[in-house]
Amino acid sequence: MTLIPVPRTAVIVVAAGSGTRLDAGAPKAFVGIDSFSVLRHALDGVFAASPAQVVVVAPPGFEGDAETELRGAAGDRVDLGRVVTGGETRQQSVAAGLAALWGDVEVVLVHDAARALTPPDQIDAVAAAVTEGTGVIPALPVVDTLKRVDGDRVIAPVDRSELAAAQTPQGFPRAALEAAYAAALASGVDYTDDAALFAAAGGTVRHIPGSARAFKITTPDDLDRARRVLAVPDPAIGGHAVVAAPSASATTPAAGIPRIGIGTDVHAFGGEGDLWLAGLEWSGEPALSGHSDGDAVAHAIVDALLGAAGLGDIGEHFGTAHPEYAGAHAAVFLARTRELLDEAGFTIGNVSAQFQGNRPRFSARRGEAERALSQALGGAPVSITATTTDRLGFAGRGEGIAVTAVAVVFSRGGADRAE
Ligand code: CTP
Ligand code: MG
């Protein structure tokens, strides 16, 4: 018999919600994304992270199903996992998980099963950042323009730089979290997340960068998004989900009719300052010239997306008639493009861009660039390929670069119909 050392970290995976807003005919954790359920995907992520005790909190009556998902995901770490029954609120479900922790556990992560595609790296990063007196949450900057409203009246703008969108897992020192749960129980207040409960008991909470992939599946649109994300395999999870097939329990509307778009952009070297390309700053590389930062990768992607949706082109929405975009970087262009598509009833499937030029060398920063662009597009997969041109043409002579991008978008609710 092999003895596994008892881990100092535990992950409580709360999966006991009913999924009212998803409305898929089964508790949300057991709805299929592809041929695997929300819970199975969440547990695949948890077991791909560093070894930890794993407590799955299941809806009453679904303990056996949760056990099956746990066994499927755990492999030879099955002894680290167990299933307990959840409560009526998320807070009660977490409390049930806390009651099942092993004595040696010192750091507790609480994770929503509904954030099914959370990268294992994010789970490890939260665990590593917890210190004796401090809780840690992953969070993303807010990109939308926010308003305070009263009924249908817009009252005031809200400064988004003060806000962050909280994700899970949220990590805490065990003893302090248990004390905070006891205090919440005594006060009778129901908190929607553990950071709020922990802070109410006087605890300090810090945030680290979250990831677009850790979005929460709440509505049918979110489930469609998860299916599209899975269309691109994630090597970190050793993926069984290569193609986003409609699920066997496909109770949600289809993603919509796909439309494709193409965009090209060319910029000459000769701008001032450092190079900005594919959403990244490349210090020491010669800059490109242009009305904005000359980021030809971002600009080709914008044209591909606008073209796919039939919404005109980059000149119309961001050209010299829009001085507010002078000098703007990719994140601004892409977030606004996503907003334009969203308003017109389109969601983004995926984007592929090809860079032609001698410099910079993309391979070392490909993943970083893909993540930056994908994040600006709300999590849609972006892939970048790069090539030189055998010294031919302006790219080959090092005078500038060319980028071609293609994008697939999906129409919602008939937005694809020609007028
Ligand atoms: N959760 C839980 N026990 C509850 C309520 C929620 O374990 N009584 C879990 C959910 O399973 C989910 C996470 O908490 O993984 C976040 O909750 P949410 O997204 O709100 O899920 P649901 O409550 O299932 O969805 P809805 O609010 O639409 O009913
Ligand atoms: Mg809920």
Q: Is residue 160 part of a domain?
A: yes
Please give the pLDDT value at position 232.
57
What pLDDT does residue 3 have?
60
**Which structure tokens are listed for 161?**
């730089």
Tell me how many domains the chain contains: 2
Query: Is 3 part of a structural domain of the chain?
Result: no
User: Which residue range is the domain that position 298 belongs to?
Assistant: 258-416
Q: Is 116 in the pocket of ligand 1 (CB under 6 A)?
A: no
pLDDT at 351 over 50: yes
Residue 5 has pLDDT above 50, yes or no: yes
Q: Which ligand places an atom closest to the C-alpha of 93?
A: 1
Determine contact, residues 304/406, Cβ cutoff 8 Å: yes
Mean pLDDT lowest for which of 45-59, 71-85, 158-172, 280-294?
280-294
Examine the pLDDT at 190 and tell me if it is beyond 50.
Answer: yes
Average pLDDT over residues 234-259: 46
Which ligand sits nearest to residue 17's alpha carbon? 1
Counting from 1 in the atom list of ligand 1, the atom nearest the Cα of 22 is 28
Fill in the amino acid letter for 364. A
Q: Which of 90, 111, 170, 192 to mutate to test the pocket of ligand 1 (most atoms within 8 A of CB)?
A: 90
Ligand closest to CA 110: 1
pLDDT band at 411 (very low <50, low <70, confident <90, very high): confident
For residue 110, what pLDDT is reported?
98
Shared domain for 125 and 19, answered yes or no, is yes
CA of 222 to the centre of ligand 1 (A): 14
Centre of ligand 1 from the C-alpha of residue 238, in Å: 27
pLDDT tens-digit readout, 257-278: 889 999 999 999 998 888 999 9
User: SS3 of 277, please?
Assistant: strand
Do 228 and 270 belong to one domain? no
**Could you identify the residue written with the tokens 């000149």?**
315
Cα distance between residue 357 and residue 394, in whole Å: 9
pLDDT in tens, 35-64: 789 999 999 999 999 999 999 999 999 999
Mean pLDDT of the chain: 89
Whether pTM exceeds 0.75: no
- Give the per-residue pLDDT at 125: 97
How many whole angstroms from 366 Cα to the centroid of ligand 2? 37
Structural domain contains residue 328: yes
Of 237, 267, 293, the residue at which a domain comes to its end is: 237
- Which of 12, 20, 28 to mutate for ligand 1's pocket (most ligand atoms within 8 Å of CB)? 28
Tell me: do 232 and 311 sit in the same domain.
Answer: no
| pLDDT at residue number 4 | 62
Residue 248 lies in a domain: no
Asked if the bond preceding 51 is cis, omega within 30° of 0, the reply is no
Q: Are residues 355 and 213 in the same domain?
A: no
In degrees, rounded to 5, the angle at the alpha carbon of residue 310 between the alpha carbons of residues 304 and 315 is: 60
Name the band, by pLDDT with cuts 50, 70 and 90, for residue 255: low
- 249: confidence class by pLDDT, cuts 50, 70, 90: very low
Nearest CA, atom 10, ligand 1: 17
Question: Could you tell me if the CB of 105 is within 6 A of ligand 1?
Answer: no
Predicted confidence band at 362 (pLDDT cuts at 50, 70, 90)?
Answer: confident
Residue 20 CA: nearest ligand 1 atom is 29
Task: Among 36-45, 289-298, 385-394, name the one with the lowest average pLDDT.
Answer: 289-298
Considering the domain architecture, whether residues 66 and 108 belong to the same structural domain is answered as yes
166 & 277 share domain:
no
Between 59 and 319, the more confident residue is: 59
Distance 330 CA to ligand 1 centre (A): 35
Same-domain pairing of 95 and 181? yes
> Looking at the structure, do residues 192 and 282 belong to the same domain, yes or no?
no
Q: What is the model's pLDDT at position 157? A: 92
- Model confidence at 414, pLDDT cuts 50, 70, 90, reads low
Measured in Å, residue 41 CA sits from the centre of ligand 1 at 16
Task: Measure 17 CA to ligand 2 centroid, in angstroms.
Answer: 6
Dihedrals φ, ψ of 111, to 5°? -130, 135
pLDDT classification of 237: cutoffs 50, 70, 90: very low
Among 203, 237, 271, which residue terminates a domain? 237
Mean pLDDT confidence for 117-146: 95
Domain CATH code at residue 146: 3.90.550.10
Judge whether 4 lies within some domain: no
Decide: residue 54, CB within 10 A, 0-12 exposed, 13-18 middle, 19+ buried. Answer: buried
User: Does 90 lie in the same domain as 41?
Assistant: yes
Ligand 1 neighbourhood includes 16 CB (under 6 angstroms): yes
Instruction: Determine if ligand 1 sits within 6 Å of the CB of residue 60.
Output: no
In this predicted structure, the answer to whether residue 251 has a pLDDT above a threshold of 60 is no
**From the CB of 29, is ligand 1 less than 6 Å away?**
yes
The pairing of strands 9-14 and 153-158 is unpaired
pLDDT of residue 332: 86
Q: Do residue 294 and residue 218 come from a single domain?
A: no
CA-nearest residue, atom 7 of ligand 1 = 16
Give the C-alpha separation, 55 to 355, whole Å: 46
Residue 244 lies in a domain: no
**Residue 312, domain CATH:** 3.30.1330.50
Classify residue 23: in a domain, yes or no. yes
Average pLDDT over residues 75-96: 96
Considering the domain boundaries, does residue 73 fall inside one? yes
Of 204, 237, 270, which one is at a domain's C-terminal end?
237
Angstrom CA distances, 289 to 265, 278, 293, 307, 400, stand at 12, 15, 7, 24, 9
Pocket test for ligand 1, best of 40, 112, 117 (most atoms within 8 A of CB): 112
CA 29 to ligand 1: nearest atom: 11
> Strands 146-150 and 153-158: what pairing?
antiparallel
Check whether residue 192 and residue 279 sit in a common domain.
no
Query: Which DSSP state fits 32?
Result: B
How long a stretch of residues is the chain?
419
Q: Does residue 359 carry a pLDDT above 70?
A: yes
Q: For the residues 199-205, what does the mean pLDDT come to?
A: 97
The single-letter code of the amino acid at 289 is S
The reply to whether ligand 1 has any atom less than 6 angstroms from the CB of 57 is yes
pLDDT band at 68 (very low <50, low <70, confident <90, very high): very high
Q: Is 85's C-beta closer than 6 angstroms to any atom of ligand 1?
A: no
What value does the mean pLDDT take over residues 2-15?
A: 86
Residues 133, 267: one domain? no
